[in-house]
C-alpha cells in the first residue's frame, strides 16, 4: 500500500478528552500556560477581534496533556508558550496559536473538521474534544504513524490520520465544517476551498518561507462566496508536497 493512501484510524473507545485526571502533576503547569495564552489574547485583541477566546477552547487547552505530544527530552518545556521541535524539521505550534486557530474555527460538537499537517497530533487532540470527527493528513509517514499511535494510546477515538499531501485535502470525507492548516502555504489551496462546506471556516497561514506569513481566516458563505481576513503575522514551517 502506498504511503499516500496508508490510513491509520484510532479505535480505542473512550472519552476524547479523558486525559487529565485529578491529581495530575501537570495540571498546574497547564493552568499557567492558559494564563499566558490569555495574556497573549489580550495583547493581540485589536488584530484578532476579541479579548477572550471560547471557554470550551480554553478548557481543552487546560486539559490536553501537551507533554505527551513533544519528544521526551523536551517534556519539561511542554507548557512553555512557544513552539517546540518534534523532529523531521517540524514543530508543535505555540499554545496561543493552537488556541487561536481552534477558536477561529468556531467548533461545534457535531462538526467534521479537516486538519492539514498532523505533526505530533496536538492540534488534533485539542479539536477532538470539541467536534464530532477530525480527519488529519500528514505528508511525513513516520509522523503520521507516531501521531496515530499516540492518539490511540491516549484514548482519542474520533481522529483519523492519513499519510498524504494535505494540499489536496481529503475529498472522501468532504465537505468539512472547518479546515485548519498547520503549515504555511503560498496561497489558499483551491482543493481545500472546494472541500469547505457552505458556512464553514478555514484557518491557514499564508506566505512564503522567507516572507511575512499572515494567519488568514477563510469563510465560505451559503451561496459559495469566499471571504478572507488576515489577522496577524505568524511563522510556520512551509506546506510541502507536489504542488
List residues with catalytic annotation.
Answer: 93
183, three cell numbers: 503549515
**Cα four-point dihedral sign 28, 30, 34, 35:** positive
- Specify the 3-state DSSP secondary structure of 116: strand
SS3 labels along 33-75: HHHHHHHHHHHCHHHHCCCCCCHHHHHHHHHCCHHHHCCHHHH
**CB-count burial class (<10 Å; 0-12, 13-18, 19+) for 20:** middle
Between CA 201 and CA 236 the distance in angstroms is 20
- Distance, in Å, from the CA atom of 160 to the CA atom of 170, rounded to the nearest integer, reads 11
Beta strand pairing call for 7-9 and 133-138? unpaired
Amino acid at each position: 500500500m502506498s504511503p499516500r493512501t496508508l490510513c491509520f484510524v484510532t479505535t480505542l473507545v473512550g472519552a476524547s478528552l479523558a486525559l487529565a485526571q485529578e491529581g495530575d502533576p501537570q495540571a498546574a503547569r497547564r493552568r499557567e500556560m492558559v494564563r499566558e495564552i490569555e495574556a497573549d489574547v489580550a495583547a493581540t485583541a485589536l488584530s484578532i477581534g476579541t479579548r477572550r477566546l471560547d471557554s470550551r477552547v480554553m478548557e481543552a487547552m487546560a486539559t490536553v496533556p501537551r507533554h505527551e505530544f513533544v519528544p521526551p527530552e523536551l517534556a519539561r518545556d511542554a507548557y512553555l508558550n512557544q513552539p517546540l521541535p518534534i523532529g523531521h524539521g517540524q514543530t508543535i505550534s505555540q499554545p496561543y496559536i493552537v488556541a487561536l486557530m481552534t477558536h477561529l474555527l468556531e467548533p461545534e460538537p457535531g462538526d467534521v473538521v479537516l486538519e492539514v499537517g498532523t505533526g505530533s497530533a496536538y492540534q488534533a487532540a485539542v479539536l477532538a474534544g470539541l467536534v464530532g470527527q477530525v480527519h488529519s493528513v500528514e505528508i511525513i509517514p513516520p509522523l503520521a504513524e507516531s501521531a496515530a499511535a499516540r492518539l490511540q494510546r491516549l484514548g482519542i477515538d474520533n481522529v483519523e490520520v492519513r499519510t498524504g499531501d494535505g494540499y489536496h485535502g481529503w475529498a472522501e470525507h468532504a465537505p468539512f465544517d472547518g479546515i485548519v492548516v498547520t503549515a504555511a502555504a503560498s496561497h489558499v489551496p483551491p482543493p481545500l476551498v472546494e472541500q469547505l462546506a457552505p458556512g464553514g471556516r478555514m484557518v491557514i497561514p499564508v506566505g512564503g518561507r522567507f516572507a511575512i506569513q499572515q494567519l488568514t481566516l477563510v469563510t465560505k458563505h451559503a451561496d459559495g462566496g469566499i471571504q478572507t481576513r488576515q489577522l496577524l503575522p505568524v511563522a510556520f514551517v512551509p506546506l510541502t508536497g507536489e504542488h
